[in-house]
Chains A and B, each alone.
Chain A
Amino acid sequence: MDSLTLAISSLSIPIVTYASTLLDDPFSYIIIVALLLMFFEPRWEKRIKVVFVIAVALMLSIGIKEIAKVPRPCDLGFPSKVACPTDYSFPSNHAAIAFALMLAFINKPTFPIYLAFALFVAFSRVYLGVHTIDDVLAGLVIAPIAYQTVEIVWRKKR
């Protein structure tokens, strides 16, 4: 386990724990992502495109998880602040989704908000003890590939 992952996961700040636990729940996470998408993006076409980018990022992430089969830090005996998820660790689906959402707004003034959200999501996964730094930063690689893939299909469709 890398030293940064250990340092972040050993922190304990009640408000961060509350927010991280909220994001950990898939249902509330989807609601928050949907709200962030609907609130700042008025065009339906762009909203649909972003949903596709997120879906591709998620598929890539799940596919890599099944190939890499990396156990979660909490499966290796490291303490976690929530119940240890049953799937593999690398890469983080939460981070891949958050970075994909962020990237879709790179040409918008609201980009820093999405960047801050993505960074907090990435931090929260490590903080909760369910992912390592590598797992969450893999989202930074997956998101641009997912975005580019959707761009290619989108351009062909038009």
Chain B
Amino acid sequence: MEKKTIGREIGRQLLHALVGIFLILFLAFFGRERLVILLSATLLVGMLMINWKMLGSRVPVADWFQKRFERDATRFPGYGSAWYVVGALMLAIFLHDISQISAGIFILAVGDAASTLVGMHGSYKLPYNKHKTIEGSLAFILFSLPAYAFIGWIAIPLAVAAAIAESIPLPYDDNVVIPAVCVVFFLLV
């Protein structure tokens, strides 16, 4: 990977983790109802920006963001960010327990970011997915474990389940697969 691409990926993943931590703090201070409104409003405004960008208009904030943080090969501008907000919104709407929502957001934000950062330097490819590494999946589990602070010991099986789901080559974005696994996990447990 090129130095510039690696630099952008590090920035991207740091932002990914920081936004998640911001959302957890927002949830703790303002509650679930306001988080749902914040995420929905962000998603709708984001969709309008994506629409303008797709029609060829210049959107200064989105352009700046795209230049610094977005991957080169995305299906449309704001692709990853849009799925991230959809994933966080899924957690906030489908789960009602603040601890469970916080744990889900933490795994989505920190576990996934760590997995990408460690995984891109890893050398042992997963047998069923040549784009992901064993080191990346282990980092996902390890960095998701602090979710223990929100939900206790069930953070361990949840982190493992989310890491497995994240490593499988699915046609859906990781940012929506991980929250979906968290929602199903909490429904079953």
Q: How large is the interface on A (under 10, 10 to 19, 20 to 34, 35 or more residues)?
A: 20 to 34
Bound state CA distance, A102 and B47, in angstroms?
A: 10
Is A106 an interface residue, CB under 8 A from the partner?
Answer: yes
DSSP class of B's interface residues: helix, strand, loop or mixed? Answer: helix
Kindly state the separation between the CA atoms of A117 and B55 in the bound complex, as whole angstroms: 20
User: How many residue pairs between the two chains, A and B, have CB atoms under 8 Å in the bound complex?
Assistant: 59
Q: How large is the interface on B (under 10, 10 to 19, 20 to 34, 35 or more residues)?
A: 20 to 34
Main secondary structure on A side of the interface with B: helix
Interface presence of A59 (CB below 8 A): no
Instruction: Determine if A106 and B40 form an interchain contact, defined as CB atoms under 8 angstroms apart.
Output: no
Asked whether A84 is an interface residue with its Cβ less than 8 Å from the other chain, the reply is: no
Q: What B residues does A138 contact at CB under 8 A?
A: 93-94
Residues on A with beta carbons closer than 8 Å to the beta carbon of B54: 106-107
- B51 and A107 contacting across the interface, CB-CB below 8 Å: yes
State the Cβ distance, B5 to closest chain A Cβ, in Å: 26
Residue of A nearest to B47 (CB): A106
Which chain A residues border B47 with CB–CB below 8 Å? 102-103, 106, 111, 115
- A67 contacts across to B, CB distance below 8 A: 187
List the A side residues contacting B171 at CB < 8 Å: 148, 152
A74 contacts the other chain (CB 8 A): no
Give the residue of A108, A109, A119, A141 whose beta carbon is less than 8 angstroms from that of B86.
Answer: A141
Interface flag for A25 (CB, 8 Å): no
Residues of A whose CB lies within 8 Å of any CB of B are 2-4, 67, 102-103, 106-109, 111-112, 115, 119, 133-134, 137-138, 140-141, 144-145, 148, 152
Q: Which 3 A-B pairs have the closest CB atoms?
A: A111-B51, A107-B54, A152-B171
